[in-house]
Every structure is written in structure tokens, then in C-alpha cells.
Structure 1
Amino acid sequence: MKTKCPKCKGRGSVVVDYKECDACGGTGYEDDAFDVGNHFKGVNNKAKAKFDLGGDEDIPCEACNGKGQVEVFDDCPHCHGTGQVNVCRDCGKLIDEKYDVCRDCEEKRKVEKMKHDEYVARENQVRNVYILDSLCQMRDIDKDKLYKGKITRIERYGAFVTLNNNVWGLMRGDVSEYKVGDDIIVFITAIKSREGKIDLAPAYVDKYKLIKLTKSIPRTLIGDLEKKKGKVVRIDGEVQQIQQTSGPTIFIINDESGTTEIAAFDKAGERSYPEIEVGDAVQVIGEVNEHGGKTQIESSSMTKLSPEQTAKLLALIDDALNKRAEPDDVDFLVKSDVLNRLKPKMREAAQKIRRAILDGRTILLRHHNDADGICSGVAMEKAIIPLIEHVNPSNDAQYYYFKRSPSKAPFYELEDVVKDLSFALEDQERHGQKLPLIVLLDNGSTEEDIVALMQAKIYDIEVVVIDHHSPGELITKDERGGEIYGATVAVDEYVDTHVNPYLVGGDSQLTAGALATEVAHIINPAVKDVIKHLPAVAALGDRAECGEVYQYLEIANEKGFSKEHLAKIAECVDFEAYFLRFMNGRGIMDTILAVDNIDKHDKMIDALYKEYQKRIDAQLKAALPNIEKTQFENGIYFNIIDVEKYAHKFTFPAPGKTCGFVHDKIINDLGEDKPIVTLGHGPDFGVFRATDAVNEQYGFNVNDIVSVLAERVPSAGIDGGGHECAGSIKYIEGLGEDVLAELVEEIKNMSKN
């Protein structure tokens, strides 16, 4: 490569000698400025001006500038008079004309060529090309890897390639084919120091895949982030949820130790890391800080883990969460053989609910809209919400991860499941939430539930049922000493965990409110004192009588609630539930049930109970005179009333409650030990109430009657069910008389056991 000769500076000649100036004869001054006697003969004014001389000064010679000597030039021996020399293209060392680079650089090129040839030999392989994240430094790179960079500067001796803001190097040689801004794949030829410069060479690969190389830092568990504020950390975890805000994208990520928020920002309102989805195992690097009082990581990079890393991490998380979800071994609130036999299923239900909380799944809780169902729901709510708030970093986590909704019917209706699935799928699409865990309380056990449960199972939604309704015939029985083991029922095909006293030889007298409160206590023992009176309220609301009920009443009495006051609470719950309809009424029900706002409880009960009594009295005045009373030859007292004609409509109490109050009045007149059946009916429905004596003496069971009538009048579209002595039936209005006639015949023809 040609460049200026450093000896002659490109002139081609150098000074070799000096000789006397011919113009001044070696004096250094102009000859015509002096006379023989050394007096001025005449003055050259132009010369005086040129040299800025005074009138009495000598004029220097213009040829030698007053030196008296002039230089003698000859051709420069280095460049032979050309003014240029040949240097090495790579290092700039002076070399012979016939060479382009020096011997040392030639050897270096051969080494680089050999390395290049090795890459070319593997050009048919798919190579891994790494992109450095913004945190990687010189110490994080490896000579054995390929990297993708960008050309940021070009000089005559090579091009500078930037791999990230911290790492760059020089690619030497002919770079005429490149321009600033070009992406290029390079390999490292030399690392001169870990904190200094690196030399690069272009890598010519056709098939490759890009891999994001994150900074090599040790993993930090989410549970230890509090100690790492202000520091850059790396966490490995599973994406539970993705929320797009008007600013950053928020990723909720968990590992085996906890859950945290990751804030990632590209542009306001624009999704960061669009390749990351819910359920992915990822590695995140970023700085730990605090947002809204909660620990948060500002992400610098987020990458999916490899399939092998994912499998290993998810297995680790799964094992750890299963251990964390395992509930403590707590005693039941009361002594009960039925509860003891149900304990494995109750602990399983508690474990599934705790695991769903840790997984970041919403708990979708459905319960019957009566005192028993509402007590069930509130007990679970008080146990679950504190755990959700403890596990999740978001301030409004309970609204994302918990929903409690009442159901009008004592079973999971299609109307309910359609709403639940619609909201769940929408939340999954819009907010990146996982599909929920559905928990059914005081419903879910009967054949009427199957259609809705089947629909939920299409989406692989996990379902837990805690109920005391009769589930129908036990499919398998293994009886040992009067206890039933391994019993299953029809709904178990669609339910993941089923808690029901019938499965272990119990009955409906152990209410859903009691079962749910015991499970809630297992889930979160800290709420025991808040909810331990709720089973007594549920029992009185459902007219349950058994040994466990008396123990629950005693527990409530120790807490300061008399049986009369508990009955008022149950009645006020039913009264308020009628007006709340499909709302959960969290704050109001908390006050009525004395689990919160305790200072307002007595005033609320007094106000509601007075109005409750007033409306019951008005309804009974209208209904009692219109009851048709009959005693059949088999001894059953049968009472029927058309609640559509002889009761106030569209107000409390509803037809079911009206039938119950009428039935209570008749029992009060005849005696509780009598076999009494009361039917309140409308154009297309009927509501049953019966005494235990009918069930015990005649085998009366609402579910059996509904099944028999469905066979006898198949065109009536009969449906319904409930407890043995309390339930409902639906049918087509046009065949209502036929259905009622068959119903009366069925009861009339019942015989004593």
C-alpha cells in the first residue's frame, strides 16, 4: 500500500550538501548596496521594504536569505525520488515494493483464513449466532462462538463492529464491501484483554439461528428479591399472567419461592416481548426496585428457556409449589365420624385451592343463593383472599384472582357455566390470565349439574365440589364396618375433587356451610376465629339437625351468639339475598354474618329482621286461607297451594320460601312427628317441603319423585331435584295439570316401609 515517504515527506529529494551562494559571493548581502569606501552608493528601496530595514542597515541576499550558502539536493534514497514508499496494509510496516503485507501479517492472515475455512467447511450446519443483551460485557464473550453485530465505523485499516453498548471490536483488512449500519456475523480472532480490545473477522454462514445471550450472572430466587433492591439480578420462572398497560407490559412470573412483577417497556402501550406467552419458562435479567409499595423488576432482557431447561425448571417449580400448597394438619372444629372419613377429600380440596392460588389461577367460587350457600362462600372467601394478597404482588390481586357468585338454583346451571366460561376466556384473551379453578359450594353433586360440568371440562378447567345434596346412587361401594370407602357417583367423572357426606355414609344434615367452613379452616387456619360461627348459621338456615349441628351451636354460643340470634342472622341472609340476586354483596353479607363491620351488625339485623317479619306475615295472610289440605288413606298429610294465584309475586318471599313458611305453619298445627308433604306450585313449577317422618316412614325423596314423573309424563320436559325432603320440579306449562295429577297419585300410593 502506497503512502508518503517519511524521510522526504513526499518531496522525492533530500539535502546532501551546501555551496557558496553565487548571487552574493558568500557575503550574504546585495553587492550594489555599498561603494568602495564602504559608504552608501545608493539604496534599493524595494529591498529595504522587503526586509523591513532601516536606512543604515545592509540588504540581505535574496538568493540565500543572508546565509551566504545554498542547499544541494539529490534523490531520496528511501523512495528513489518518487516521494512514496510501500507499507503493509495491515500494520503499516515498511516493506518491499513487491509485497502487499508484511510477513507477520501474512502469517496472521493465514491463521484467520484457516479459521474461516473451518467455518466454511461447516457451512451446511445450522450454527448458533448470539446476540448480546445490553448487560453483557467483555468477560461474557467466548472465542468459540459466533456473534451478530453492527458496523459503526469504517477506517482505512478496518471496520469497527459493535456487539452491544459495552462490547466492540476491530475487523481488520479490506472492508470496502461494507458500510456503516450493516449487520454482520463475526467470530473473535483475539481477545487482547478482558477489559480492552478484541479483534474480529467476518463469519460466512448461510444457515444459523439467533440466540439472545444474557449476562452470565447467578440465579436469584423471587423470595430473595427484597434483599437485592437496586441491584441487577437474574430470575428463572414461569409466566403466570401478562397485562398490557398504557405504559409498560407487566409480566407476572413465579418460581419455586414466590411471585413477582416484571415491568418491560419498549413504547407506551406497546406489547414488549410479543414472543413470550402465558405458561412459558423464561429467564429475566433486570434491576430490582419498588413500585406501589411492591417489589418489581425492570427488565433488561427476557428470553425463553430451552426445552430441556424448561422441563427441569417446571418440574422444580411443580414440586416446590406442591409442598407449599400442602395444608397444615389442623383439627376439625367439632368431633365427627363423618368429617373424619371425609378428611382426605377435604384436605385434597384445600390443597387444590391453595395450589391454584400459588399458580396464579383465579378462584371462581359458585354457591347456592341461600343462607347455607352464602355461609359456605363467605367462609371460603375469608380464607382465600388473604393468601391471594400474600402471594401476588398486585395491590388489586383479589379482584383479579377471586370471584364469588351466587346461583339461584341449587345446582350448577347452564346459565351459570356460560357466564363463567365467557368471562374466563375473555380474561385469558384480554389480560393473559390462566383459566380458573371452579369451586362449587352447596351445589355440584347431582345429575342436574352434569351438563354444566361437562361444558367446563371441555376447556380442561379444574373443578372442586363441596356439597351436601344427595348425589344419587353410589356407583361403587366397599363397606367396612359400616363405613363406605371408594364410593363414586355420576358427577365424579367431571369433578376433580368431590366432598360430600353421602360418599362416606353421611347425609344432608351436615350442611355445605359446615363442610366449607372446615375446608376454609384447613386452607387458612388463621381465620378460624372469624368464621367458626358460620356452620351454626348455615345449619339453622337449612333446618339441619345432627350431632355436629349441636356442637357448632355451642361454638357460636361461646363466641356470644345465641341460637335465636343465629336464626335471625340466617333469615336476614335469605332476605337480603333475594334483593342482591346475582350480586355477592360482599360488604353487606359480611356485616350480617358478623365476619366484618362488627359494630354495625346488631343494627343491621334489627332493621332487616323487622322488615323480614312484616313481609312474611303479609304473604302468609294471603296464602294460608287458600291451602288445600288432604290426608290420604296411607296416612300422609298432603297440602297444596297455587303460589302463582294466592301469594304476592315479585317480592320477598319467593315461591320456594313461601312454600317453606306455609309448611312450617302446618307443622306447628299438626305436629313435627306427622308425615306432612306441602307443595307450592305455579303454571310450570312446583316446590316441595316434607317432614323427616315422611322420608323415614315412606321413603319420600324429591329426587326419586322427579325421576318417576319424568318417565310417566315424558312430553312434559320434567327436570328438578334437591334434598330428600326439600326440592323443586320444573315442567311445561301446558302439561302442568297432568304432572300435578301424577304427582298426587305418586304420593297417595306411597306405602309405609
Structure 2
Amino acid sequence: MSSPTGTDDGAAVPDGGTVVYDLAAECTADDLEDDGRYLATVNGVVEYGVFVDLSDTVSGLVHDSNLLGDYDVGDELVVELAEVRPDGDLSFDEVRLDDYRLEPVAHGDLTTVADLGGATGDTVIVEGTVVQIKQTGGPTVFQLRDTTGVVPCAAFDEAGVRAHPGVEIDDIVRIAGRAEERDGGVQIEVESLTVLDGEPAAAVRDDLDAALSELAEPADIDPLVEWPAFEKLWDDLREVATELRRTVLAGRPIRMRHHADGDGLCASVPLQVALQRFIAEQYEDSDAPQHLLKRLPSKAPYYEMEDVTRDLNFALEDRTRHGQKLPMLLMLDNGSTEEDTPAYRNLRHYDIPVVVVDHHHPDPEAVEPLIEHHVNPYLHDEDYRITTGMLCVELARMIDPTLSEGLQHVPAVAGLSDRSEGEAMADYLELAGEMGYDEGDLRDIGEALDYATHWLRYSSGEQLVTDVLNVDCDDRGRHEEIVEFLADRAERDVADQLDAAMHHVDHERLDNGAHLYRIDVENHAHRFTYPAPGKTTGEIHDRKVAETGDPVITIGYGPDFAVLRSDGVRLDIPRMVSELTAEVDGGGVSGGGHLVVGSIKFVSGMRDEVLDALVEKMAEAEIDEELGSSTALPEDVDV
């Protein structure tokens, strides 16, 4: 490279052997070496010399006694550090070289997020994409993702004022600053932030895409048990696992909605723990698992407008207040029916993808145009016997395979809670036995979950529920004690409820030979306590099945709802609800669930007409002695 303008008073250096350093814009005086030569640009000319810039923050004076030529603003020359004065000002001497080579110098050492733990106290450079911008009362915090992880980067302007206002989410940037320990992780205190474009940005983005595609791949595991019916869904689960990992890597939050029952908890809690662990691996911010994942129970067996409105409001607030991307919605043990579609359509106004893992009888034509992924055994000619809890335990293992041993008992809890009669239940029970759980223990866990969920209502009960289910619980003794306490309380409360309710159960024999039992749970059962109407109806139903040994249908009804249970009768509750909606004018009928277990709602003034029409349809249903009860009720109706 040719030398800058000026005369040469020194010997030429052959073969370009001298290195002249070209400081990046974000470099500071800490990047200078005493014997280094640097490319400088004149930014001012005065009588006693010229002022030069070596970077955006490194400037100084070349005194005329140390100049070798005449320069104007914008000219380049090579200098070396002469003195650092007590007040911090820098002075330089000009160096004349006939031949040299330029070597770019970045501020600090280029490193990765994964290596920041060993660089605390050092000035570092990290390149990547911005996944979140949060304005605090002090600094602006940029969450930066590189190929190995995500690190918070605190940039200061005036307190509470947005630093680097031109930077946006998904920009490719180079951040330089000091790596410091903070709250058990590492944070970069930003000294400079540069938005990259052109080839440098494209190179960083290509590296990110390749690394994140590899990181998004789920673990290559085998199912906990061999079950041909389950294997049909394996590829679908891997696609969802990939999507969930990719969502975490992209910095998009996840709102996990699950049915508030035993199977819903067996599905959501293991997946919550797996995702939280994966988030913690990827993010230096110790609060990231809390901010990027929310588990939210849903009482209804579909995504209610109340829930979607609340979720959407929180998502928009988090985007405004905390700079988060809009979330993914993950629906578990819920979300497969036409009743979910109004809520999904509401989300379509925003960039909120929906993923559904469920085992209720689906309406794919209505749902799938509105969602990204749909895992459901019915889509593979299977049924409810593959519970959502069984599916999500495998999903959790794909995300974090180290959880495998701690989850061995959960599929059995899910199956017993939802009364699965799948051929793999014996294998699941055997797996649980290896963890020290017999069938009675597992049923107690299911009852304890049901009891705790009833009182938690709309709260997720984070630590309590994980302790009851013994997922990521560090105290087996505490787990056993709390399960025993809650299960005993549940058994006592059920007994009290049935002592009062059984006297008011009405019986009739339908034309098809099935027993029909009805109870007004509004007037003949305790209200606002455990068990709720759905559970009460289910317990009555189980007693009548045991007493008669015949096909049984049980209806528990209130002013504007009914919950339905059936054994030995080929019902199709979703179809019956659709027919009643069309046939009972002014009935306001809605509902659904599984084929032989479900719930319906209607306007209170039309209760008798709706129930009479419902019973007529039940009387026409085919008897099937081998058709057992499908599951615990998918809805506990709050009245």
C-alpha cells in the first residue's frame, strides 16, 4: 500500500513488512500499544500542529515539531503514540513509511457469548442479532444473540433515555464493551454499538442461520416405551420440538396454555421444565426463563375469548414495555376444535403463531388453516388413549434428554388421570414402578394435582405443582408428604359431596337399554368447593358403573350447562353438540370434548328443551359393551 501524503525522512521498509493498525470506530485508548503504528485522519489544523482521529473515541495532537508534512482536514497519515498526559489527552508523532500493510483492529477481543464467563473484566467484542430491546429506568438493555447464546448488553445515555435509538430488533450488530458478572450471569457494558450491513452483516447472518439450525435440532432419543400407535406421531413431535427450540433461539417468548386437569399438567409441567432449562443454557440473563415462558391453565376445554384477550393484551404490553417479540402460543391438551377458532382468528391480526398438541377429538378443517403445527392421535387414525401428557413427556425429552429419568412416572400419571386404556399402560406403569411408584401412588398424584388445581383456579402454581408431580423437585420426601395430604383431602371432600348428592340422582332406562342418571348439581351438590360439577358428575358416574355393570350415561346439569359421561354407549358428543346447535332454536348450544365425555352450554331458559333433545339422541346411540369410559371430564364447570 502506498504511504500517505508527505515527505520521507526515514528508511523504507521492504516487502510491506511494517504493520500499521487501522482502529475500528469503537476502539478506545485501551486498544493502543506503546510501539504500535496507527492510521490517523486529520480532523483539525491549527498553528501548532494537527488534530487527528484514530477512531470515534481516540483523538490527539500531532505537534508541528513532530509533523513530517503539510496536511488538510480529511488527509490520512501514520502516527505512533508519543505521550499520555496527566489529564488523559494524547499526543502523537508522525511516522513516514514507504511500504506497509494495514491490519484492522477491533475494540477488545472478538469472542462468543459462550466464552464470556472467562472474560469478565475484559473488553470484548460480540457480533450477532438483536432479539430484544428493553428500556429501563437507567440503561437500554439490548439482548444480543450470537452463534452460541444470548447476552444482555447495557448501553447508557441519560437515565431512562433510549441509547442507540436507530437500532432495531433483528439488526445485525457489533457490540464492544466490558464483560461484567451480574446476577449469576454475564452482562456487557456497552462502549460502542455498530449496526452492520452489506457483506459483514450477511456473513454474520449466515453463520447465525447455520448455527441456529443445528441448535434447533431436537435430541435423537427413543420413546420411553415401544408402542406402534405412538410411533405414528413421532415425526410430528420432532417437528414441534424443533419449532420450540427455534423459537427460544430466536428470542420469541412462549405462552403455554393447557387444560387445567391432570393430563394437562402432566403435559405442561415437564415441557415447562425442559424449555426453562434450554432457555437457561442459551441466555446469560438469569431471569430469561421467567420472562420468555409463561404457563397458563385454562378451565374451559377450548381457548376462550377471555383467555385470548388477556394473552393478547399481555403480549402487546410486553412488546411495548419490555421490547419483547410477540409470543408463540402453545396449546396443550386443548385447542383442536372449531370452538377454538374465534380466538385463533383474533391472534391472526398479529404475528403470533399457534402450535397445538392435543388428544381431544379434533376438527382439523376448522383449526389447521389458523395454526402452524397440530399433533393429535386422531389425525393418524388413533384416539384419546394416547394422552397429551404421554406426548409431551416425549416432547420434553427431545428438548432436554437429561430429564428422561425424572419423567418416567409422568406418562402413567397422565394415563390414569385421563383413564387411558391404551395397550402401553402396562409398560408405563412398569416404568413408574422402577421409580418407586405403584399404581396407588400414581393415582394419589393425579388426585393431588386435581385438588391443587381446583384451588389454584387461574394460577399456574409453579412450585407447588412441580412438587406434587415430582418433576424437577429436589425433595422426594416433601413430594410424598404433600401428595398424601392433598390426596387425602380430595378423598374426604369427594366423600362429603357424594354423601349429599347421591340421594338426588334420578334414574331412567333408555330405549337402547342404557342406564341414564341425572343430577341437578346446582341445587343438590355443594357449590364453590371441591369437587366441582364436572368432577362430581364423574364420581357419581363411576359409582353407578360399578353398581350396575351395564352401559351407563350420567348427566350433571346446572342452570346453563351440562357435563356428560358415558360407558358402554357409542356417543359422539361433538357431533351431538353440532346437531343440537342447529336443531334447538334459541338454545345457544355450544360445547364439545371427547367422543363419550364432554360438556355443553346453553341459555338457561332453554335448559329443558336442550336436555330433552340430548337424551333423545343418547337413547338412539348404539350400545357397545367393550367401549369404556374415555377419560376424566375435560371440563370442570365453574358455577
Contact 1:135 1:214 in 2 (8 A): no
Contact 1:388 1:397 in 2 (8 A): yes
1:154-190 Cα shifts (integer Å, max 9, x gaps): 54x6764667553345799xxxxxxxxxxxx931064
Which range moves more in the overlay, 589-598 or 531-540?
589-598
- Residues 224 and 600 from structure 1, CA distance in 2 versus in 1: closer, same or farther, beyond 3 angstroms? closer
1:82-112 Cα shifts (integer Å, max 9, x gaps): xxxxxxxxxxxxxxxxxxxxxxxxx99xxxx
Of 582, 603, 610 in structure 1, the residue corresponding to residue 458 of structure 2 is: 582
Of 436, 441, 444 in structure 2, the residue corresponding to residue 565 of structure 1 is: 441
Contact 2:555 2:562 in 1 (8 A): yes
Contact 2:252 2:326 in 1 (8 A): yes
The equivalent of 2:515 in structure 1 is 637
C-alpha distance in 1, partners of 2:376/2:584?
Answer: 31
Q: Which amino acid aligns with 1:261?
A: P
Of 247, 254, 257 in structure 2, the residue corresponding to residue 356 of structure 1 is: 247
The equivalent of 1:742 in structure 2 is 613
Matches within 5 A, 1:123-162: 132-133=25-26, 135=28, 141=39, 149=43, 154-155=46-47, 160=51
Contact 2:227 2:424 in 1 (8 A): yes
Q: Which amino acid aligns with 2:28?
A: L
- Residues 270 and 678 from structure 1, CA distance in 2 versus in 1: closer, same or farther, beyond 3 angstroms? same
C-alpha distance in 2, partners of 1:321/1:269?
Answer: 33
- Measure how far apart 1:228 and its partner are: 3.8
- Measure how far apart 1:489 and its partner are: 4.1
Of 54, 73, 77 in structure 2, the residue corresponding to residue 186 of structure 1 is: 73
Please tell me whether residue 619 in structure 1 is matched to residue 469 in structure 2: no
Of 42, 58, 73 in structure 2, the residue corresponding to residue 166 of structure 1 is: 58
- Residues 684 and 505 from structure 1, CA distance in 2 versus in 1: closer, same or farther, beyond 3 angstroms? same
C-alpha distance in 2, partners of 1:312/1:132?
Answer: 19
- Residues 215 and 661 from structure 1, CA distance in 2 versus in 1: closer, same or farther, beyond 3 angstroms? same
Counterpart secondary structure, 2:284: coil
Q: Which amino acid aligns with 1:647?
A: A
Matches within 5 A, 1:706-745: 706-745=577-616
Q: TM-score, normalised by structure 2?
A: 0.84
C-alpha distance in 2, partners of 1:293/1:659?
Answer: 50
Q: Which amino acid aligns with 1:545?
A: E
Please tell me whether residue 314 in structure 1 is matched to residue 192 in structure 2: no
C-alpha distance in 1, partners of 2:479/2:226?
Answer: 30
Give 1 or 2 for the bigger CA radius of gyration: 1
Of 498, 501, 520 in structure 1, the residue corresponding to residue 374 of structure 2 is: 498
- Measure how far apart 1:650 and its partner are: 1.0
The equivalent of 1:525 in structure 2 is 401
Contact 2:40 2:78 in 1 (8 A): no
Contact 1:363 1:403 in 2 (8 A): yes
Counterpart secondary structure, 2:222: coil
* Aligned-pair Cα RMSD in Å: 2.7
Q: Which amino acid aligns with 2:419?
A: R
State the structure with bigger RCO (CA 8 A, min sep 6), 1 or 2.
2
Counterpart secondary structure, 2:424: helix
The equivalent of 1:513 in structure 2 is 389
- Measure how far apart 1:659 and its partner are: 0.8
Please tell me whether residue 606 in structure 1 is matched to residue 606 in structure 2: no
Q: Which amino acid aligns with 1:463?
A: V
1:487-524 Cα shifts (integer Å, max 9, x gaps): x5431212212111111111001111111111111111
- Measure how far apart 1:642 and its partner are: 1.2
C-alpha distance in 2, partners of 1:162/1:509?
Answer: 72
Q: Which amino acid aligns with 1:707?
A: S
Counterpart secondary structure, 1:186: coil
- Measure how far apart 1:399 and its partner are: 1.2
Q: Which amino acid aligns with 2:526?
A: H
Which range moves more in the overlay, 610-619 or 440-449?
610-619
5+ residue gaps, structure 2, are 7-22, 65-71, 83-91, 96-103, 625-639
The equivalent of 2:506 in structure 1 is 628
Q: Which amino acid aligns with 1:730?
A: K
1:255-289 Cα shifts (integer Å, max 9, x gaps): 11222121222333332212212222111122333
Q: Which amino acid aligns with 2:574?
A: N
Matches within 5 A, 1:23-422: 132-133=25-26, 135=28, 141=39, 149=43, 154-155=46-47, 160=51, 164-168=56-60, 186-188=73-75, 190-191=77-78, 196-197=92-93, 215=106, 219-422=110-313
Counterpart secondary structure, 1:688: strand
What percent identity do the matched residue pairs reach?
A: 38
1:299-331 Cα shifts (integer Å, max 9, x gaps): 211021115543443333122111111012100
Contact 1:162 1:169 in 2 (8 A): no
Contact 1:247 1:267 in 2 (8 A): yes
Which range moves more in the overlay, 541-550 or 307-316?
307-316
Q: Which amino acid aligns with 1:187?
A: G
- Residues 190 and 317 from structure 1, CA distance in 2 versus in 1: closer, same or farther, beyond 3 angstroms? closer
- Measure how far apart 1:217 and its partner are: 7.1
Which range moves more in the overlay, 306-315 or 362-371?
306-315
5+ residue gaps, structure 1, are 1-106, 109-129, 173-184, 200-212, 473-487
Please tell me whether residue 704 in structure 1 is matched to residue 595 in structure 2: no
- Measure how far apart 1:395 and its partner are: 2.0
The equivalent of 2:321 in structure 1 is 430
Q: Which amino acid aligns with 1:624?
A: M
C-alpha distance in 1, partners of 2:408/2:183?
Answer: 35
The equivalent of 1:57 in structure 2 is none
Counterpart secondary structure, 2:75: strand
- Measure how far apart 1:533 and its partner are: 0.6
Counterpart secondary structure, 2:253: strand
Q: Which amino acid aligns with 1:273?
A: H
The equivalent of 1:468 in structure 2 is 359
Contact 1:133 1:214 in 2 (8 A): no
1:613-642 Cα shifts (integer Å, max 9, x gaps): 221122112221212211122212222111
Q: Which amino acid aligns with 1:457?
A: R
The number of aligned residues is: 573
Counterpart secondary structure, 1:261: strand
